[in-house]
Chains A and B, each alone.
Chain A
Amino acid sequence: MLSIDGVTVAFARRRDPVLRDVCLDLAPGEQVLVLGSSGAGKSTLLQLVSGVIPHSVVATVDGTVTVGGVDTRDTTVVELSRTVGLLAQDPASGVCLPTVEEEVALPLENRAVDPAAISGRIDTALAAAGVGHLRERRTARLSGGEGQRVALAAALVAEPAVLLLDEPTSMLDSAGVAAVRSAIASSVARYAPAVILVEHRLDEFAGRAGLDALPGRSIVLDAAGAVAADGPTREVLSVHGRDLIAAGCWLPLESELDAVFGGRSGAAGPRTGLSSPGVRAGLLEFAGAPEIGAGLLDLDREPDAMPPTGTDPNAVPPVLAVPVLAPVLAAPVLAAAGLAVSRERQPRRTRVPRRPRRGRDATPAPFAPVLADVDLEVRPGEIVALLGANGAGKSTLLLTLAGLLPPAAGAVAGARPGMVFQNPEHQFVAHTVAGEVGFGLAPGPATDALVARLLDNHGLGHLADQHPHRLSGGEKRRVSVAAMLAHGRDVLLADEPTFALDRRATIGVMRALRAAATDGTAVVFSSHDLRTVATLADRAVVIAEGGVVADGPVFDVLRDVSALESASIELPALVEWLLQNAGSDAGVRRALLRLDDQVPADRPAVGQITAVPSTVAS
């Protein structure tokens, strides 16, 4: 069905090829999972198969790619689309037509499907993606998650023989991931396409069935873009688990735990993951008191795999040094009282002539706000996680707290907060990374020193002269965080700060936020990823049903089953197990942090040209 033979792909502006001598054969109906850290060339591989490379994106391609018997170099993307269906990253922005049904009809029209059959197939495809009710909706009114599922329906509706899925769940909450999983599973069962899947959130994608729900075959792309492994998924994950963790990839939990604790007594045996006694013992040891944790050096970690700790490699990492759930006694730096938030008000308000208004108070609005009666106080040095389903109003609340949207009711008091947006590109204003971080500050030696220190702390020193738009996803995010921290605001708000990042970048952002909190900044961040929340947050606030349904110490909230249910949030298996077994909240936190410590802060030396040491903010 598909044959990639010794392919090397290089882009004009990059010194090193993105893909190196890649070989991959795929039989009809065969499914393969592509693993690799960000920048390993996973998306490039998919673009190669779809013909986007070299037809739409200019690149030098050596070797041959054959899809359905034709060479992709001689066949246009349009011609290849008879065989290949593509669900691109950020598919919501690839929705082209004004209404959902027209969007899904387009691939069928293009393949000359009998018009009489089209309507039925639109229904089937939308229902399979769990969005049957959206058929007549305007595409402009879809949320990110809805758009993603509509795009999936459009990719599946023509039943392409090869299906390319590039992070099909990135925008979705748990309910959305389940819908996408079942849509893909049902198509695969119905007409057995060959599938190439690139996915970060493997546990959520696999659901309860675990590894068995993932494609049976996996390939690993290393940092240099070469195929480092190709074989049955279980085998690849068990043989290469450690390397994949070190490379900063997300792994299914089962594989991650087996890789981390695999060498231990009792770990061998038929049981894997959380059900293995060896893994359980290891996790409990990780959860144990710091003194016991210090004995973990027997775990055969390489010296450079140690978390960065400044000067002394044996010192307790700064992240660990932070007392878990520090008592917060200081006065709040940000306080919302009786706050109602909505985006609707904004356009109306700009038209109304300005009337004198004191503070950020506003008169009650006559419409139903997204959230109402929100009371929220944030104190210096604490990290608050904001949880809720897609569309619950997390972003709107953050924008209102930031003073960017006027409250629909109630008031926000406190100094002006800083905010990091979900898409860092929206924030970029300068042409260099250094300029970006120094933007809005008075020029002078003090600013230069501050910028230099922030660049260094966030591992951006070697990128100071680069254009912010040219960086990788993780680097862009770190730039946006560093640029906001440069303003030294008392409160830092962050909208999904770890969204779509690989594991190394996620840990990097978490450490940056923790470091800011240690310096006394109050941090409020929204997230779908409860493992990140359990690792980072001191406090959690759950919003659902138009208001706050839970607010308290993070582990108390994570134990509050009914609150999580009302926000349709599912607890990841690891967090659930630790909450039940780790013995203490501090133990849960320690175990999660130690698991993150398995990921070295620097990329492995492979393919690295400039080995600039990046240190974590301390």
Chain B
Amino acid sequence: MTVTDSALARRNPTVKFALLFAVSLALLFVFDPFTSAALYVIALVAVIASSGIRPRALLLGHLPFVGVAVGLVLVNALSRPGVEVVRFGVLRVTEEGLEVGAALGLRTLVIGVLSLGFIVSTDGVRLMTSLHRHARLGLRVTYAVLAGYRTLEELPREWQLIRHAHAVRAGVDRRGRPRRGLGAFGRAAFALLVVSLRRAERLAIALESRGLGLSPRTTWRPVALTATDGVFAAGVIAVVGGVIAASAAVGVLRGAEVLAG
């Protein structure tokens, strides 16, 4: 996946990562659907405007989060005690349940859309470089993660090769296709393990023999941490804080106390 240039892509990856974390944390204390909905709309518009994400990627990326959100709404609506809205046989949907479920579902979507914005606007190497420099992540961890990512990228190809290599000698079913039972799967998984371990060993040697861990070292394309990043962070915090404050002022904000009540 390559990262295209955009306003969000030019921001410091560590700052983006920290903000994503901070917003997710703040949302943990919001239990009403209105605040979450407002934050979702703002986040959606902001991500579309600043990251240049393609609509198709945005929609597809939403799928897992929508799935979780629907699940949260259903479980809460059907299981939470409170004022009955409608009844299907033994199942009763409550007002409180709908409210909490919608709040939790929308919270998932906010985190989801922000994560999508983060992923499409952040290059792996820049993230690791920045985490090393600005978040003091150890160099060995940094490059181990990158090399591990390389190994992961290779896995589908290796898996395919191994499955092919094993299928040649496998028995065939009535339609003449190789049988692929659980045993075959296990054998292929073992072969993949062996091949991956060898690869990991070679990667480790390659990294060391290229001098990873020497000091002093330089960074070819250092990831900048600029005043703009500060403004960006302050802006995000102000908007999130503002929305929460506004909904508190209007009186729609609910905290974790709704769970008890």
User: Which one of B146, B204, B221 lies within 8 Å of A98 (CB-CB)?
Assistant: B146
Q: Is B205 touching A56 in the complex (CB atoms < 8 A)?
A: yes
- Establish whether residues A97 and B209, one from each chain, have CB atoms under 8 Å apart when the complex forms: no
Q: When the two chains form their complex, are residues B213 and A110 in contact, meaning their CB atoms are under 8 A apart?
A: yes
Residue of A with least CB distance to B153: A140
A98–B195 CB distance below 8 A: no
**Taking the nearest CB of chain A, how far is it from the CB of B164, in angstroms?**
5
> Looking across the interface, which residue of chain A has its beta carbon closest to that of B163?
A404
Contact A112 B217 (CB under 8 A): yes
Min CB distance B24 to A, Å, is 26
Cα of A84 to Cα of B210 in the assembled complex, Å: 9
Q: List chain B residues, Cβ under 8 A from A118.
A: 218, 220
Write the chain A residue with the least CB distance to B166. A429
> What is the minimal beta-carbon distance from A537 to any residue of chain B, in angstroms?
22
Q: Would B203 and A484 count as touching, CB distance under 8 A?
A: no
Contact B211 A96 (CB under 8 A): no
**Binding-face segment, B53-61, B81-89, B168-176:** B168-176
* Cβ-based interface call for A107 (8 A): yes
9 of the cross-chain contacts (CB-CB < 8 Å) are A84-B209, A88-B205, A93-B199, A93-B203, A98-B146, A151-B206, A158-B210, A426-B158, A429-B187
CB of B38 to closest CB in A, whole Å = 37
Known: A52-B209, A109-B218. A440 touches B170 (CB 8 A): yes
CB distance from A149 to the nearest CB of B (A): 15
User: What residues of chain B lie closer than 8 Å to A52, measured between beta carbons?
Assistant: 205, 208-209
B98 to chain A, nearest CB (A): 36
- CB-defined contacts of A418 to chain B, threshold 8 Å: 168-169
Within 8 A of B (CB), among A230-274: none
Task: For B207, list chain A residues within 8 Å (CB).
Answer: 96
Cβ 8 A contact of A77, one of B125, B160, B209, B221: B209
Which residue of B2, B124, B204, B210 is within 8 Å of A154 (Cβ)? B210
Interface: B150 (CB within 8 A): yes
- Which of B125, B158, B161, B169 is within 8 Å of A484, CB to CB? B169
- Which A residues touch B164, using CB under 8 A? 399, 402, 404, 421
A404 to B199 Cα, complex, angstroms: 25
CB of B161 within 8 A of CB of A98, answer no
Evaluate whether A105 and B212 lie within 8 angstroms (CB atoms) in the complex, with A94-B205, A96-B207 already known. Answer: no
The 3 closest A-B pairs by CB, nearest first: A94-B206, A110-B211, A81-B211
Assuming the contacts A94-B206, A112-B214, asked whether A469 and B194 have C-beta atoms less than 8 A apart, the reply is yes
B167 CB–A CB distance under 8 Å = yes
Contact yes or no, B219 A426, CB < 8 A: no
Contact with A along B187-207 (1 / 0, CB 8 A): 100010011001100111111
User: Is the Cβ of B221 less than 8 Å from the Cβ of A115?
Assistant: yes
Bound CA span A483–B170, Å: 12
Do the beta carbons of A115 and B220 come within 8 Å of each other?
yes
A304 at the interface (CB under 8 A from B): no
- Cα distance, A1 to B186, chains bound together (Å): 50
Asked whether B261 is an interface residue with its Cβ less than 8 Å from the other chain, the reply is: no
Task: List residues of chain A with CB under 8 Å of any chain B CB.
Answer: 50, 52, 56, 76-79, 81-82, 84-86, 88, 90-91, 93-99, 102, 105-115, 118-119, 138-140, 151, 154, 158, 346, 399, 402, 404, 416, 418-419, 421, 423, 425-429, 439-440, 469, 483-484, 487
Q: Which residue of B lies closest to A418 (CB)?
A: B168
Known: A77-B205, A82-B214, A110-B217. 9 other contacts (CB 8 A): A94-B205, A96-B210, A98-B125, A102-B220, A110-B210, A140-B153, A402-B168, A421-B164, A483-B169
In Å, the complex CA distance between A118 and B221 comes to: 9
Residues from chain A with Cβ under 8 Å of B181 in the complex = none
- By a CB distance below 8 angstroms, the chain B residues around A139 are 150
Q: How far is the CA of A416 from the CA of B194 in the complex (A)?
A: 28
Q: Assess whether B251 is interfacial by the CB under 8 Å rule.
A: no
B154 touches A140 (CB 8 A): yes
Residues in A with CB closer than 8 Å to B125 are 97-99, 102
The answer to whether B214 and A110 touch across the interface, beta carbons within 8 angstroms, is: yes
* A78 and B208 contacting across the interface, CB-CB below 8 Å: yes
A122 CB, nearest partner CB in chain B, Å? 9
Q: How far is the CB of B241 from chain A (nearest CB, A)?
A: 36
Pairwise interchain contact B214-A111, C-beta atoms closer than 8 A: yes
Q: How far is the CA of A416 from the CA of B171 in the complex (A)?
A: 11
The answer to whether B150 touches A86, judged by C-beta atoms less than 8 angstroms apart, is no
Bound-state CA distance A169–B77 (Å) is 65
Question: Which residue of B is nearest A346, CB measured?
Answer: B160
Which chain A residues border B191 with CB–CB below 8 Å?
A: 425-426, 428-429
> A399–B222 Cα gap in the complex (Å)?
45
Query: Which residues of chain B are near A77, meaning CB under 8 Å?
Result: 205, 208-209
Asked if B150 and A439 sit within 8 Å, CB to CB, the answer is: no
Known: A112-B217, A425-B194. A81 touches B209 (CB 8 A): yes
**Given A88-B205, A96-B203, A110-B217, is A440 in contact with B165 using a C-beta cutoff of 8 Å?**
no
Q: Is the CB of A487 within 8 A of B169?
A: yes
Q: List A contacts of B210 (CB < 8 A).
A: 81, 96, 106-107, 110, 154, 158
Contact in complex: A115, B219 (CB < 8 Å): yes
In the assembly, what is the distance between CA of A418 and CA of B222, in Å? Answer: 52
Please report the C-alpha to C-alpha distance between residue A47 and residue B218 in the assembled complex, in whole angstroms: 27
Residues of chain A within 8 A (CB-CB) of B187 are 429
B29 interface hit (Cβ, 8 Å): no
How many angstroms between the C-alpha atoms of A404 and B178 in the bound complex?
9
Tell whether, in the assembled complex, residue B218 and residue A112 are in contact, meaning their CB atoms are under 8 Å apart.
yes
Q: Does B162 contact A (CB under 8 A)?
A: yes
In Å, the complex CA distance between A93 and B209 comes to 14
With a 10 A CB-CB cut-off, give which of A79, A151, A404, A469 has the most chain B CB atoms: A404
Q: For residue B144, give the distance in angstroms from its CB to the closest CB of chain A.
A: 10
Interface centre among A79, A94, A154, A439 (most CB of B within 10 A): A94
Given A110-B213, A140-B153, A404-B168, residue A105 in contact with residue B220 (CB < 8 A): yes
Beta-carbon contact of A79 and B214 below 8 Å:
yes
Distance of A237 from chain B, by nearest CB (Å): 30
Taking a contact as CB atoms under 8 Å apart, the answer to whether A114 and B218 are in contact is yes
Q: Provide the residues of chain A in CB contact with B214, threshold 8 Å.
A: 78-79, 81-82, 110-112
Query: A366 → chain B, closest Cβ, in Å?
Result: 19
Contact B165 A426 (CB under 8 A): yes
| Residue pair A90, B219 in contact (C-beta under 8 Å) | no
Cα-based distance from A465 to B191 in the complex (angstroms) = 19
Task: Tell me if B46 counts as interface (CB < 8 A to partner A).
Answer: no
* B147 interface residue per 8 A CB criterion: yes
- Which residues in window 213-232 of B have CB below 8 A to A? 213-214, 216-222
- In the complex formed, the residue of A with least CB distance to B186 is A429
Shortest A411–chain B CB gap in Å is 14
Given known contacts A90-B202, A97-B125, A110-B217, A484 and B168 CB-to-CB distance under 8 angstroms: yes
B149 within 8 A of A: yes
**Least Cβ–Cβ distance between A419 and chain B, in angstroms:** 5
CA distance A286 to B154 in the complex (A): 48
Across-interface contacts of B2 in A (CB, < 8 A) = 138
B17 at the interface (CB under 8 A from A): no
Whether the pair A108, B162 counts as a contact (CB closer than 8 A) is no
Find the residue from A93, A99, A102, A427 having the highest chain B CB count within 10 A: A93
Contacts of A425 in B (CB 8 A): 191, 194-195, 198
Query: Do A78 and B220 touch across chains, with their CB atoms under 8 A apart?
Result: no
B220 and A96 contacting across the interface, CB-CB below 8 Å: no
The docked-state distance in angstroms from the alpha carbon of A21 to that of B149 is 41
